[in-house]
């Protein structure tokens, strides 16, 4: 059940209609049932997996929270972590290792395994809810929060349908109390939730799906003669596709949650206006970048292990972050590019780059923004490519500077659809609002929402593209 389908619209309206007619416990029961229906829509067999991991984490956290014995606390923490990472590793990375072994066997002239018999289906959103479960058990172990007393509350915290498939990854201390406490209807929050949904649909259906047409043709070698123009247009188109796609999903998720009195963390803050790679990761997929910082980078030692240790921890964090996105070596390279970039940035600047950015001239600020954007785009090439052969193939042909009419058409198309999103980001950067006209009169917000829906009706791409992050 995708967010941009009539089925989800009907589902959401029905759930919200029933939700506000129940007490807190009834609301939680309804939402848990609805969330399991939502998740089982793809494949009902995966419900057993999420339920099993929920049960394990719930009871392990209770044992960790109630025990005063350090050995027992570590034991139940280890059980929870091993179960979660075991599920994630098997379902997400089994095929990756089998395929890698088959490629190595072929290279060495050894018999190849029967890969067709070993493929494992990937449960939707397993990376997201696994990271949320890991954060919960670690926070309980650190005594930063008490374990949930109600299995219903904890199960809903994990499976609440707006964030279940592609985040944002909710911090236990932020969302669990909202599940445990009464939610009160707030007309203004409800109104803003609707606007977030309309804004998200615009980002996804108009910007992302249209840019996807250009990106798909470029990466398939079908955007005229392959060369500098087709590669650059393909990478630019994908940059705006993935941004519109994921930020649109996050807006719809946050808006849907607000209709029911929940508040999710902001996941994007104009990332393509970043003045450094560090700044980019403060703005892009914020729920993941802060998770990696708090549960991986800092536990590894952060910047407390000297210069060499800091660079090592940066690289490990970004390489694991790349692998989290998908079981493909190109994702690891994508993470590695960001890791090297962050390390070089830290080495060259020796201080927070953003403190200097505030004192720079407008021209200098834009030079940095353009440079960082292109560094990010260079990494996107490997993120989008299905293989190293495809990625390096697009790089090799960049010596061909031929410009064809199809490139002009693609460029105009890209500017027409990515341009409005860029303009929105410039405005939001100035106002520090979560959506355009957030702090203006209701009529302005209504006009914005109507404009978004008209744009979706008139300009949405005719092809159906699943949200990119559903595969992660």
Rounded CA-CA distance 341/80 in Å is 34
Catalytic residue (choose from 106, 174, 285, 325):
325
Q: Contact, 200 vs 3, CB < 8 A?
A: yes
Rounded CA-CA distance 264/163 in Å is 9
Q: Contact, 33 vs 11, CB < 8 A?
A: no
Rounded CA-CA distance 279/368 in Å is 11
Rounded CA-CA distance 260/194 in Å is 11
Nearest to 377 by CA among 284, 315, 313, 463: 284
Neighbours of 467 (CB within 10 A): 19
Q: Contact, 314 vs 328, CB < 8 A?
A: no
Nearest to 212 by CA among 21, 17, 461, 405: 461
Rounded CA-CA distance 226/396 in Å is 10
Separation in Å, CA 40 to CA 34, 54, 173, 365, 378? 10, 15, 27, 47, 37
The position carrying tokens 């649109």 is 248
Rounded CA-CA distance 423/421 in Å is 5
Residue 308 in 3-state DSSP?
A: helix
Q: Contact, 141 vs 114, CB < 8 A?
A: no
The predicted-structure confidence for 88-111, as pLDDT tens digits, reads as follows: 888 887 766 666 666 666 566 666
Q: Contact, 418 vs 241, CB < 8 A?
A: no
Instruction: Give the contacts of 442 (CB within 8 A, at least 6 positions apart).
Output: 191
The position carrying tokens 């960790």 is 64
Positions in the chain short of pLDDT 50: 116-117, 353
Tell me phi and psi for residue 351, to 5 degrees.
-165, 170
Nearest to 147 by CA among 125, 180, 170: 180
Separation in Å, CA 174 to CA 9, 80, 258, 279? 27, 21, 14, 23
Total residue count of the chain as it appears in this document:
472
Neighbours of 453 (CB within 10 A): 15
Q: Which two tokens stand for residue 274?
A: 């970043």
Q: Contact, 284 vs 128, CB < 8 A?
A: no
Cis status of the peptide bond prior to 168, with omega within 30 of 0 = yes
Rounded CA-CA distance 132/146 in Å is 16
Rounded CA-CA distance 223/240 in Å is 17
Q: Contact, 76 vs 64, CB < 8 A?
A: yes
Buried-exposed string 301-330: b where 16+ CB fall within 10 A, e elsewhere: ebeeeeeeebbbbbbbbbbbbbbbbbbbbb
Tell me phi and psi for residue 338, to 5 degrees.
-70, -35
Q: Which two tokens stand for residue 235?
A: 């990478």
pLDDT at 442: 83
Answer yes or no: 407 catalytic.
Answer: no
Q: What beta strand segments (E) does 357-448 contain?
A: none
Rounded CA-CA distance 208/468 in Å is 10
DSSP annotation of 117: G
Instruction: Give the contacts of 378 (CB within 8 A, at least 6 positions apart).
Output: 235, 337
Nearest to 245 by CA among 83, 38, 3: 3
């Amino acid at each position: 059940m995708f967010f941009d389908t009539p089925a989800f619209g009907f589902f959401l309206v029905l759930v919200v209609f029933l939700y506000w007619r129940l007490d807190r416990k009834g609301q939680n029961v309804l939402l848990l049932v609805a969330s399991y229906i939502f998740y089982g829509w793809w494949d009902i067999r995966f419900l057993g997996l999420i339920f099993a991991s929920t049960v394990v984490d719930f009871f392990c956290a209770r044992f960790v929270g109630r025990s005063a014995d350090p050995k027992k606390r570590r034991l139940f923490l280890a059980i929870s972590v091993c179960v979660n990472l075991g599920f994630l590793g098997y379902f997400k990375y089994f095929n990756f290792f089998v395929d890698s072994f088959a490629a190595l066997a072929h290279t060495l002239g050894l018999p190849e395994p029967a890969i067709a018999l070993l493929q494992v289906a990937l449960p939707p959103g397993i990376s997201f809810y696994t990271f949320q479960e890991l954060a919960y058990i670690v926070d309980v172990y650190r005594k930063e929060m008490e374990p949930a007393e109600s299995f219903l509350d904890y199960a809903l915290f994990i499976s609440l349908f707006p964030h279940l498939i592609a985040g944002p990854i909710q911090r236990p201390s932020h969302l669990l109390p909202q599940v445990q406490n009464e939610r009160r209807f707030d007309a203004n929050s409800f109104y803003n939730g609707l606007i977030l949904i309309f804004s998200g649909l615009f980002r996804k259906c108009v910007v992302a799906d249209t840019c996807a047409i250009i990106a798909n043709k470029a990466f398939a070698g079908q955007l005229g003669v392959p060369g500098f123009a087709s590669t650059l247009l393909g990478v630019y188109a994908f940059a705006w596709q993935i941004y519109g796609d994921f930020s649109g999903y996050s807006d719809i998720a946050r808006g849907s949650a607000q209709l029911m009195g929940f508040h999710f963390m902001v996941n994007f803050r104009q990332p393509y206006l970043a003045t450094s790679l560090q700044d980019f990761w403060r703005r892009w997929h914020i729920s993941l970048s802060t998770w990696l910082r708090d549960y991986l980078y800092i536990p590894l030692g952060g910047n407390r292990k000297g210069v060499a240790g800091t660079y090592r921890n940066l690289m490990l964090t970004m390489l694991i972050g790349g692998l989290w996105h998908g079981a493909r070596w190109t994702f690891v390279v994508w993470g590695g590019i960001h890791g090297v970039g962050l390390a070089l940035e830290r080495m060259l600047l020796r201080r927070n780059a953003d403190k200097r950015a505030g004192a720079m001239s407008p021209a200098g600020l834009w030079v940095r923004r353009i440079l960082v954007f292109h560094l990010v785009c260079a990494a996107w090439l490997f993120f989008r490519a299905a293989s190293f052969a495809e990625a390096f193939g697009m790089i090799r042909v960049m010596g061909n500077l031929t410009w064809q009419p199809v490139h002009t058409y693609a460029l105009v198309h890209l500017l027409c659809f990515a341009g409005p999103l860029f303009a929105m980001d410039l405005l939001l950067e100035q106002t520090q609002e979560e959506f355009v006209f957030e702090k203006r009169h209701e009529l302005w917000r209504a006009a914005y929402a109507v404009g978004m829906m008209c744009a979706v009706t008139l300009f949405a791409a005719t092809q159906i593209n699943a949200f990119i992050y559903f595969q992660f």
